[in-house]
Structure 1
Amino acid sequence: MQNIQTVKLNRATFMFPLALVLFEFSVYIGNDLVQPAMLAITKDFGVSSAWAPSSMSFYLLGGAFVAWLLGPLSDRLGRKKVLLGGVLFFAITCLLILLTKNIESFLALRFLQGFGLSVITAVGYAAIQETFDERDAIKVMALMANVSLLAPLLGPVLGAFMIDHVSWHWGFIGIAAITLVSWFGLKAKMPDVKVSRTKKPFSYIIDDFKQVFKNKCFVALTLALPLVSMPLMLWIALSPVMLVEYMGLSSMQYGLAQFPVLGGLIAGNLVLLKIIDKFALGKTVLMGLPLMLAGAIILVLGAIWQEYFIHSLILGMTLISFGEGISFSVLYRFALMSSEVSKGTVAAAVSVLMMLSFFIFLELGRVLYESFHIWAYSLICLAFIAFWFTLPRTHLKKVMQDRVENGQF
């Protein structure tokens, strides 16, 4: 059990999440800049383009691999120490990848770079939730999401530019430089939040994780997160192959196709900021998921009438990303607060489940796409969103009802 003293969001306290989002931007563009360049990278290494989605999969697997340790470690050593160490490690691995000579060593470094994802989700997000009041924390998460969305918006365009004009190596040099700027900002502006925790030996990590995973509400709400975000993750991983190789778009057309899809996510986050104080917490999720389901159905209709597929794909994914924008930050808050265990450990458990889900289903999606192409993509998206309406929706409504009974809005 921990007692957390939170602060209000204002201009002074916002400097910490601003520095953190710069690192988040670096981590995300570490994927979104690289994915469009993967066709050129696989060509440089003399391997099939089928390896392209594996860059993202190994990135996510790296995030899952270390999350179990970073969260509990930050509970004991402090969020700031672990966060600063993780930021520096990410910068170093971005520079080391410049020395790779084959696809195997490239993917190994991508795996290590993926540790940065867990630094964000298991340490950085936990620090945000501990630093700010409940609704302010959700607002900060939504604002951070909008700033970090510059990565998938700029990444494809910059990736296309790298393919056409310079070497992909320069992308990693730029990412390392941005990461180091973030490190200095976090060192200067990240507060030392006073959190009262029961001191336990490090050996209690296993017991803490057991307690977290025995919580059915936690498991249901945490699994709801990849169900909501998986369609967009598949889009980021497969759209280079789907749009450029399968549909014959140019690299620049591929980059421009990202704007309406990712713009939908930005719009969803902005709408969340506007309406979160007007509705019961969780209501936006119940509004967003039907929109996502409608978008997934449009994808399937496009697969049936393939002459309209590009239009159906953009429209359907825009609806899906908008629904994710008004849903994800709220679901994350509910998942993190569904257990009384130290938030570093809970955030680590969330991160492990999310990253493992992403890795497994991205690799499955890659294999299925090779055989069934756009049919596989459309049906996988529909399946994920449809499954959300089962157990996760039931537990969300139960949490919302409990909040009403406890006098929480």
Structure 2
Amino acid sequence: MLLAGALIFTLACAATLLTTSMTQFLVARFVQGTSICFIATVGYVTVQEAFGQTKAIKLMAIITSIVLVAPVIGPLSGAALMHFVHWKVLFGIIAVMGLLALCGLLLAMPETVQRGAVPFSAVSVLRDFRNVFRNPIFLTGAATLSLSYIPMMSWVAVSPVILIDAGGMSTSQYAWAQVPVFGAVIVANMIVVRLVKDPTRPRFIWRAVPIQLSGLATLILGNLLLPHVWLWSVLGTSLYAFGIGMIFPTLFRFTLFSNNLPKGTVSASLNMVILTVMAVSVEVGRWLWFHGGRLPFHLLAAVAGVIVVFTLATLLQRVRQHETAELAAEK
């Protein structure tokens, strides 16, 4: 499925070169988005299954860093290239990169655990999804991950209005203003990869929480006491991004593997929950900005961030109970 997703994405990007109408273009883009779902759902599970817990978490941190560079480099490089080449050339470049990624997967991706062939059954798939959404650890982990996304995703969606329309920034200035936010996540991930021996320790996880809360406090207090059109928003979001970046791969691992459910189903369910919450939070954030301004908009992030602390505590407790039960069963 991972290779199929990469192949479909590459072919869909190449097909964009042949489009002659908006309908054809949108169909090609839809196929690209669908194939990315294959890659995300199966890819993360494959990494988690192919490597041990600590190494998988550190690899996830590296993957997250690479993924977060794209929103910074993509718009800048795309806008620059369109001054010199036709827009379809951009999709040609992406198709070539997709082909390189496909070849890399074929040559270097380790094989995961082999299972016997199981005939497809829609009833079994539905039963698996039902069991996933009844699992307490999954529900708590999905809530923690989804809520932790809200401050950053709402910022990404509404920041063009805040920084360009209200702040008077140019497109290039806006792009540079986003660097601290995404850079904070990347730095946090690199710290996990290079300096942290065991990122699953509860003590390490709880040390990241004050950083997140200080970022949220900066969002509210900065805009309340010393109003500035963008300074406190960027600074507070960057601090929060640094804190959540340190523990996000670990939270993903806990949610995915602290149960005995099919991992592909768990990953797909988790992606559905996260994407749904992101879509709703973006619309709520936009409404709050246009009807209330900066403070109500940032209150959405603050409320979500505070709730994360409680869901995180519940998640760690349930993970510990699950591990204890597994150890008792082995004995």
Relative to the length of structure 2, the TM-score reads 0.86
Task: Tell me the residue number matched to 1:144.
Answer: 63
CA distance in 2, matches of 1:165, 1:361: 37
Q: Is the alpha carbon distance of 1:100 and 1:306 closer, same or farther for their aligned partners in structure 2, counting shifts above 3 Å?
A: farther
Task: Tell me the residue number matched to 1:206.
Answer: 126
Give CA deviations for 1:219-256 in whole Å, capped at 9, x if unaligned: 11112112112222223222223211221101111111
Task: Tell me the residue number matched to 1:370.
Answer: 290
Contact 1:288-1:326 within 8 A present in 2 as well: yes
- The Cα of 1:114 is off from its aligned counterpart by 2.5
1:180 to 99, 108, 112: 99
Task: Tell me the residue number matched to 1:241.
Answer: 161
- The Cα of 1:206 is off from its aligned counterpart by 0.7
Contact 1:218-1:335 within 8 A present in 2 as well: yes
CA distance in 2, matches of 1:120, 1:303: 40
Give CA deviations for 1:48-73 in whole Å, capped at 9, x if unaligned: xxxxxxxxxxxxxxxxxxxxxxxxxx
Amino acid at match of 1:339: N
1:255 to 163, 168, 175: 175
- The Cα of 1:331 is off from its aligned counterpart by 0.2
Task: Tell me the residue number matched to 2:201.
Answer: 281
Task: Tell me the residue number matched to 1:354.
Answer: 274
Give CA deviations for 1:41-94 in whole Å, capped at 9, x if unaligned: xxxxxxxxxxxxxxxxxxxxxxxxxxxxxxxxxxxxxxxxx1121112223333
Structure 2, gaps ≥5 residues long: none
User: Over the residues paired in the alignment, what is the CA RMSD in angstroms?
Assistant: 2.8
Contact 1:149-1:262 within 8 A present in 2 as well: yes
- The Cα of 1:328 is off from its aligned counterpart by 0.6
Contact 1:300-1:378 within 8 A present in 2 as well: yes
Contact 2:132-2:261 within 8 A present in 1 as well: yes
Contact 2:192-2:199 within 8 A present in 1 as well: no
Contact 1:302-1:309 within 8 A present in 2 as well: no
Amino acid at match of 1:179: G
2:24 counterpart of 1:122: no
CA distance in 1, matches of 2:33, 2:148: 21
Give runs of aligned pairs for residues 187-198 of structure 1, distance below 5 A: 187-196=106-115
Task: Tell me the residue number matched to 1:231.
Answer: 151
Contact 1:156-1:258 within 8 A present in 2 as well: no
Q: Is the alpha carbon distance of 1:318 and 1:382 closer, same or farther for their aligned partners in structure 2, counting shifts above 3 Å?
A: same
Give CA deviations for 1:272-313 in whole Å, capped at 9, x if unaligned: 123432565343332223211221221122332564342212
SS at the partner of 1:341?
coil
1:317 to 199, 220, 237: 237
Relative to the length of structure 1, the TM-score reads 0.71
- The Cα of 1:359 is off from its aligned counterpart by 2.0
- The Cα of 1:261 is off from its aligned counterpart by 1.3
Q: Is the alpha carbon distance of 1:263 and 1:112 closer, same or farther for their aligned partners in structure 2, counting shifts above 3 Å?
A: same
Structure 1, gaps ≥5 residues long: 1-81
Task: Tell me the residue number matched to 1:299.
Answer: 219
Q: Is the alpha carbon distance of 1:276 and 1:199 closer, same or farther for their aligned partners in structure 2, counting shifts above 3 Å?
A: farther
Give CA deviations for 1:108-129 in whole Å, capped at 9, x if unaligned: 6544432244223310011111
- The Cα of 1:153 is off from its aligned counterpart by 3.0
- The Cα of 1:184 is off from its aligned counterpart by 1.6
Task: Tell me the residue number matched to 2:314.
Answer: 394
Q: Is the alpha carbon distance of 1:193 and 1:360 closer, same or farther for their aligned partners in structure 2, counting shifts above 3 Å?
A: same
Q: Is the alpha carbon distance of 1:154 and 1:201 closer, same or farther for their aligned partners in structure 2, counting shifts above 3 Å?
A: closer
Task: Tell me the residue number matched to 1:135.
Answer: 54
Aligned residue pairs, count: 326
CA distance in 2, matches of 1:385, 1:395: 15
Q: Is the alpha carbon distance of 1:219 and 1:106 closer, same or farther for their aligned partners in structure 2, counting shifts above 3 Å?
A: farther
Task: Tell me the residue number matched to 1:266.
Answer: 186
Contact 2:2-2:38 within 8 A present in 1 as well: yes
Contact 2:214-2:239 within 8 A present in 1 as well: yes
Q: Is the alpha carbon distance of 1:320 and 1:159 closer, same or farther for their aligned partners in structure 2, counting shifts above 3 Å?
A: farther
- Counting aligned pairs with the same residue, the percent is 31
Q: Is the alpha carbon distance of 1:279 and 1:343 closer, same or farther for their aligned partners in structure 2, counting shifts above 3 Å?
A: closer
